[in-house]
């Protein structure tokens, strides 16, 4: 997966937006103003942070060498994924979707309604 494929997949999620709140090096994807993925623009190989349930985060770190505790993030709830080719794009997309869904599930009732009303 490269940065363009990652970006296309993230912005395909309902209500997803992208911004550069930390400067030009870090692209942040949000849903209803809550981050679900952060990616360094110049990393090689591509590395990105995704939100994860705490128990699953540990399981993934133990199972996959490309999954490490979230860089500059709460290590209990965020993983850094190194897209080094050791896992398939399908699995990477699954982890991105899990992060997106975790954020959506944590939205308030009002925010969930706002998301439902988006085209």
Please tell me the predicted confidence (pLDDT) of residue 39. Answer: 97
Please tell me the predicted confidence (pLDDT) of residue 74. Answer: 77
Please tell me the predicted confidence (pLDDT) of residue 45. Answer: 93
Please tell me the predicted confidence (pLDDT) of residue 118. Answer: 85
Domain ranges of the chain: 3-116
CATH code reported for the domain at 3-116: 3.90.1150.30
pLDDT along the chain (119 residues), means of 10: 96 97 94 96 93 94 95 85 96 98 96 89
Q: Cα(80)–Cα(34) distance, rounded to whole angstroms? A: 18
């Amino acid at each position: 997966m490269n940065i363009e494929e990652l970006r296309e997949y993230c912005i395909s999620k309902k209500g997803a937006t992208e911004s550069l709140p930390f400067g030009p090096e870090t692209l942040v994807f949000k849903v209803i103003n809550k981050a679900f993925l952060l990616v360094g623009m110049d990393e090689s190989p591509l590395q990105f942070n995704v939100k994860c349930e705490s128990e699953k985060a540990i399981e993934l770190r133990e199972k996959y060498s490309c999954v490490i505790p979230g860089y500059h993030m709460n290590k209990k709830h965020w993983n850094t994924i190194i897209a080094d080719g050791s896992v398939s794009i399908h699995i990477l997309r699954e982890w991105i979707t899990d992060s997106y869904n975790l954020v959506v599930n944590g939205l308030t009732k009002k925010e969930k309604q706002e998301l439902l009303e988006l085209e």
